[in-house]
Structure 1
Amino acid sequence: MAGKRVWAIGVAGFVLGAGAVFAVTSAASDGPGVTVQPESASDVPQTRQGLIAAWSDELKKAGKGKPEGWRELSTQEIRDRYISQVYANAPDAKDIDPGMAGRD
C-alpha cells in the first residue's frame, strides 16, 4: 500500500510539474515578437547596380562625377563611398534653420 501511495505522489508531482512548465513557457512565448525595421525608400540599395545608380545621383547633387577606375571598386567600396557622399551632401544646421543661434 505504501508503495502505491509513493508512486501516486510521484506521478501527481510529475504531472503538476509538467503542467507548470507548460504554463510558464506558454505565457513567456506570448510576449512581443522580434521587431523588424520596415524598409523605406531611404534605405541603402542592396544590389551593385542599385548602389551605382544611387551613388551617381549623390555625386550629381554635389556636382561631381565618378572617379577614374570606379569599375574596379568592390560592391562594399561603392557602398562606403555612396554613404560617405550622402553624409557629405547632407545640409548643415545653418542651412536648415538660418535664424537659429548655435553654439560654437
Structure 2
Amino acid sequence: MTGKEVAAVGVVAFLVGAGAMFAVTVTVAADDGAKVTVQPESATNADMPQTREELITAWTAELKKAGKEKPEGWEMLTTGEIRGRYLSQHYINTPEAEDIDPGMARRD
C-alpha cells in the first residue's frame, strides 16, 4: 500500500466513525423527550380516609381499639383536627416491633 492508499483508508474510517456517532446522537436525542415518568400513588394516601364521615368512622374505630371514646364537643372539631386526632390515635395503636416479634434481636 502506498501512502495515498493508507491516507484514503484513514479518511474513510474516520467518516464512517463520525457518521455512526452522529446517528447514535440523533437517536438518543429523539428518545429523551418521549418518556414520561409517573410516580405510583403511595399506599398511605389510598388508605387515608378523605371525607369527614370517613375520618369520624376511622377515628372512632381507633379509639375503640384503645378502649377510649370521643371527647365531649368533638362535633365542633374541624375536619383537619379530626384527621390529626385520627392519625395520632392510629400511630399510638400501632404495635411495637417487640410486640410483633419478641425474639427479634436488636441491631445497634
TM-score range, shorter chain: 0.5 to 0.7
Residue ranges of structure 2 left out of the alignment (5+ in a row): 1-25
The alignment's C-alpha RMSD in Å is: 2.7
Q: Which runs of 4+ in 1 moved over 4 A?
A: 38-42
Structure with the larger helix share = 2
**Greater radius of gyration (CA):** 2
Structure 1: 5+ residue stretches without partners:
1-19
Q: Write out aligned runs for 1:32-43 (5 A).
A: 32-37=36-41, 43=47
Q: Is residue 2:75 matched to residue 1:71?
A: yes
* Number of residue equivalences: 82
Q: In structure 1, how many angstroms separate the alpha carbons of the residues matched to 2:44 and 2:96?
A: 23
Task: Give the aligned partner of residue 95 of structure 2.
Answer: 91
- Residue in 1 that maps onto 2:32: 28
| TM-score, structure 1 as length reference | 0.66
Name the TM-score, length of structure 2 as normaliser. Answer: 0.64
Out of 37, 57, 62, the position equivalent to 1:58 is 62
Q: Deviations over 1:52-103 (max 9, x none)?
A: 0000000000100001110000000000000011100000111010112336
Instruction: Confirm or deny that 1:46 pairs with 2:43.
Output: no
